[in-house]
């Protein structure tokens, strides 16, 4: 019940305080998440912790360029949905928060002779590991935003990741800004989402 209460209070923050905390907390949380199940135990994930201000600034710059281009193309109803959630092309949180965890999924891997090897269900596997990581970070009292840039190839270049890794999600981690007005949303009832057979 305690965990339900903590997870119930989890919300997506889009403004963060600049105050930081020990990086070891994130390393421990990622260690917990890496015990997630994965297709054929391939563990097709890499978690990049970004704390360098210059790198965060560059990620923000590239993300805002991508969002500006995307916003010119998206249908109006989609724009309305995002506006109601306070989602705009401005991404200040990418610089404000002390840490970004940029999660990459492996689309193939390498054997000891550097040949390409297969991975299985990488999206499901990395999604489960990300969910476990989010639960641990929430349990630790940290605030988060799961952010998916509309075009994310720049993350590979900025963080110099190898060609078998593709960006999956940016997890913004820190203390949500006390002045941030959380959008009013509702969650579905147990009856809607749980079916007992
Ligand atoms: C896969 C995924 C992608 C998301 N992408 C974005 C995003 O690009 N920008 C953003 O502000 N929020 C993003 N969110 C956060 C959702 O908008 C948010 O979870 C939803 O509105 C419910 O609000 P809550 O997290 O406060 O419960 C994303 C969430 C998920 C799971």
DSSP 13-33: -SSB------HHHHHHHHHHH
Ligand 1 centroid to residue 145 C-alpha, Å: 7
The per-residue pLDDT for 120 is: 98
Which residue has a Cα nearest atom 22 of ligand 1? 12
Which residue has a Cα nearest atom 21 of ligand 1? 85
The per-residue pLDDT for 77 is: 81
104 forms beta bridges with 46, 167
What CATH number does residue 163 fall under?
A: 3.40.109.10
Pocket (CB within 6 angstroms of ligand 1): 11-12, 14, 85, 87, 145-148, 185
Is 143 part of a structural domain of the chain?
yes
Ligand 1 centroid to residue 61 C-alpha, Å: 20
Over residues 162-195, the pLDDT tens digits come to: 999 999 999 999 999 999 999 999 999 999 999 9
The per-residue pLDDT for 197 is: 98
Is 65 part of a structural domain of the chain?
yes
pTM here is 0.96
Is 96 part of a structural domain of the chain?
yes
Is 88 part of a structural domain of the chain?
yes
Ligand 1 centroid to residue 147 C-alpha, Å: 6
Sign of the CA dihedral with 183 first, then 178, 140, and 53 last: positive
User: Which residues does 91 contact at the CB level (< 8 Å), separation at least 6?
Assistant: 60, 63, 64, 67, 147
Ligand 1 centroid to residue 87 C-alpha, Å: 9
Is 197 part of a structural domain of the chain?
no
Cα distance between residue 94 and residue 178, in whole Å? 17
Domain range for 129? 2-179
Is 158 part of a structural domain of the chain?
yes
């Amino acid at each position: 019940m305690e965990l339900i209460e903590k997870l119930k209070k989890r919300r997506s923050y889009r403004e963060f305080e600049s105050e930081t905390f020990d990086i070891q907390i994130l390393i421990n949380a990622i260690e917990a998440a890496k015990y997630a199940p994965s297709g054929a135990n391939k563990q097709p994930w890499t978690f990049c912790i970004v704390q360098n201000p210059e790198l965060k600034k560059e990620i923000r710059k590239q993300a805002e360029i991508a969002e500006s281009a995307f916003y010119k193309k998206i249908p109006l109803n989609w724009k309305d949905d995002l506006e109601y959630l306070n989602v705009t092309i401005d991404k200040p949180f990418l610089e404000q928060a002390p840490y970004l965890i940029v999660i990459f999924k492996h689309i193939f891997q390498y054997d000891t002779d550097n040949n390409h090897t297969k991975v299985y269900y990488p999206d499901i596997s990395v999604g489960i590991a990300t969910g476990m990581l989010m639960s641990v970070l929430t349990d630790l009292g940290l605030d988060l935003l799961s952010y998916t840039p509309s075009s994310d190839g720049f993350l590979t270049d900025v963080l110099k990741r190898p060609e078998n890794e593709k960006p999956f999600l940016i997890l913004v981690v820190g203390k949500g800004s006390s002045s941030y007005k959380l959008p009013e949303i509702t969650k579905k009832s147990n009856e809607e989402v749980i079916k007992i057979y």
